[in-house]
Amino acid sequence: MSGKADPRRAGDGTTNRARLDRGRGALGPALELVHTGRAPTRAVLTAELGVTRATAGAVAAELEALGLIRVDARPGAAAGSQGRPSHRLAVAEDGPVALAAQVHADGYRAALVGLGGRIVATTPGCEIVDADPAKVLGSVVAAGADLLRRTGRRCVGAGLAVPSAVAEPEGLALNPLHLAWPAGAPVRQIFAEQVRAAGLDGPAFAANDVNLAALAEHRHGAGRGARDLLCVATGHRGVGGALVLDGRLHSGSSGLALEVGHLTVNPEGRPCHCGSRGCLDVETDPLAFLTAAGRAPGPEQSLLQQSIDLIRGHYADPAVRTATETLLDRLGLGLAGLVNILNPDRIILGGLHGTLLDADPDRLRAVVADRSLWGRSGGVPVLACALDHNSLVGAAELAWQPVLDDPLTALG
Ligand SMILES: [Zn+2]
């Protein structure tokens, strides 16, 4: 090991424990780097943390001892590479998980999500949403608890995504419009009660589904590396928005920021439940698309899935193509206004909006460029969201956050 001391033993005689005590503050940042795929090797981790090689080694060893990451001390050298390859770091494939739950207009789903945003197990989507939030949340938590029993994984906590603005600090679902839940339902408290009733450990969180999708995409998907990330997405019904600034969700003074669904994009358009008319919410969501394409919504699938299938499978049909273009133009108007106000460095589109973008990316980008003040010169990148079930992955991120902030305390 000449000149390259065993990282488990510091050269000046101090023990690993002393190293780690000095490096304890680096445990959370180190875990976040591995979690988000930004530290694939110990050499990168050392450089990113700005610590000595020995401290980075001790930090990685402690995270491995906690069952969170795996350190491969003998990676195969890449062909033609010089010198000894650095230890490879990866999230532990059999490590703890977060219980994630999502409720939307057409049903609910539970999943177990490990570090790295990896969905370990998921229930089939259920297609009934009771008007009583306690019943729905009890069912989805029970489904998640069953997954935990079957996989034998340790649970760090639980997160819930709902299709409603969630007012902070109380955790109230203010406008669960398509769920028939009472406005202002205390969803976080109800969810936490169901989690405790199921005998699960760890804290419980709840937030808006598009906020959570944006958080997941920023950490693991199409938003990685963006500094001012704007996300606009349809749910199964309606349209939401989110903004991630320097890695953190911007949720406003009481959790209600980025209600982009009520930008007017068609002054003569259809009435909106907010009291206005022609909002992005009712002009560019799956129901709006099916209506524009002259298709009656069928009962057999969600409106979102019917819309996506129609664009992907029948784009040659002039009615489908025209409806796509109409919605892209309206969406582009809304995005142009948001670009003027927020000056994002990237826009990601989820739900039906991602599929609309894929159908004709040039058209949407042209509308945004033509209609925005800086669009002509700036050319903000517009991408489709990349993760499956990004709201579920984001719900898990909420539950993982205390571990990312301080692994020893959260798991100790
Ligand atoms: Zn509206």
From first to last of its 412 residues, the chain has per-residue pLDDT tens of 333 344 444 444 456 566 556 678 999 999 999 999 999 999 999 999 999 999 999 999 999 999 999 999 877 655 555 667 889 999 999 999 999 999 998 889 999 999 999 999 999 877 778 899 999 999 999 999 999 999 999 999 999 999 999 999 999 999 887 888 999 999 999 999 999 999 998 999 999 999 999 999 999 999 999 999 999 999 889 999 999 999 899 999 999 999 999 999 999 999 998 899 999 999 999 999 999 999 998 877 889 999 999 999 999 999 999 999 999 999 999 999 999 999 999 999 999 999 999 999 999 999 999 988 876 656 899 999 999 999 999 999 999 999 999 999 999 7
Give the C-alpha separation, 349 to 362, whole Å.
14
**pLDDT for residue 384:** 98
Between the CA of 275 and the centroid of ligand 1 the distance, in Å, is 6
Between the CA of 263 and the centroid of ligand 1 the distance, in Å, is 7
Q: Rounded to the nearest 5°, which phi and psi values hold at 191? A: -60, -45
Between the CA of 265 and the centroid of ligand 1 the distance, in Å, is 10
Model confidence pLDDT, tens digit, residues 214-257: 999 999 999 999 999 999 999 889 999 999 999 899 999 999 99
* CATH architecture under which domain 224-386 falls: 2-Layer Sandwich (3.30)
Q: Where in the sequence of the chain do the CATH 3.30.420.40 domains occur? A: 97-211+391-410, 224-386
**pLDDT for residue 1:** 34
Between the CA of 342 and the centroid of ligand 1 the distance, in Å, is 20
Parallel, antiparallel or unpaired: strands 239-245 and 172-173: unpaired
Q: Where in the sequence of the chain do the CATH 1.10.10.10 domains occur? A: 13-91
**pLDDT for residue 301:** 84
Model confidence pLDDT, tens digit, residues 328-374: 999 999 999 999 999 999 999 999 999 999 999 999 999 999 988 87
Distances, alpha carbon 315 to alpha carbons 82, 323, 364, in Å: 51, 10, 16
**Any idea which fold 13-91 has?**
Arc Repressor Mutant, subunit A (1.10.10)
Helix (H, G, I), strand (E, B) or coil at 197: helix
Give the angle subtended at the CA of 409 by the CAs of 162 and 109, to the nearest 5°: 20
Between the CA of 280 and the centroid of ligand 1 the distance, in Å, is 7
Between the CA of 299 and the centroid of ligand 1 the distance, in Å, is 25
Give the C-alpha separation, 185 to 166, whole Å.
9
**pLDDT for residue 376:** 62
Between the CA of 271 and the centroid of ligand 1 the distance, in Å, is 8
Which CATH superfamily, name and number, covers 97-211+391-410?
Answer: ATPase, nucleotide binding domain (3.30.420.40)
Between the CA of 384 and the centroid of ligand 1 the distance, in Å, is 24
Give yes or no for a contact between 201 and 383, defined as CB atoms under 8 angstroms apart: no
